[in-house]
Amino acid sequence: MANLITFTDENFQDEVLKAKEPVLVDFWAAWCGPCKMITPVVEELAGDFAGKAKIGKLNVDEYGKTAQEYGVMSIPTLIIFKDGKEQNRIVGFRPKGELSKAIEQAL
């Protein structure tokens, strides 16, 4: 999906912490079943919130430094950042409505 951003250790500062809008980061891994289940939901949210919030994914196997900095122990973990600070953390698969509501609260 065009609106979905790939976050990395290298771009996390600029794309997430310095973002003007709220940012949802999906911490995931390719081998994680629940991560695969939530991917289409995250992709839909990226389209739904285009222009209002940034939404993307960070692969914990490839970019473990950032995942470690934020204490991500279980995946999927979705963290909403606003003004460079963690505002909300959701661990495990959740329905789209619950995630939408969390993003709305950050807007």
pTM above 0.75, yes or no: yes
Please say whether the structural domain 4-106 has been given the CATH code 3.40.50.720.
Answer: no
Read off the pLDDT of residues 56-85 as tens digits, 9 standing for 90 and up.
Answer: 999 999 999 999 999 999 999 999 999 999
Q: Tell me, what's the pLDDT at 3?
A: 84
Catalytic residue among 4, 16, 23, 35: 35
One-letter amino acid for residue 34 of the chain: P
Catalytic residue among 1, 19, 29, 32: 32
Residue 72 annotated to the active site:
no
Question: How are strands ordered across the β-sheet holding 4-6?
Answer: 4-6, 54-59, 23-28, 77-82, 85-91
pLDDT at residue 2 above 90? no
| CA neighbor of 94 nearest in space, from 45, 22, 59 | 45
Read off the pLDDT of residues 83-102 as tens digits, 9 standing for 90 and up.
Answer: 999 999 999 999 999 999 99
One-letter amino acid for residue 81 of the chain: F
Q: Which residue has the higher pLDDT, 1 or 90?
A: 90
Residue 35 annotated to the active site:
yes
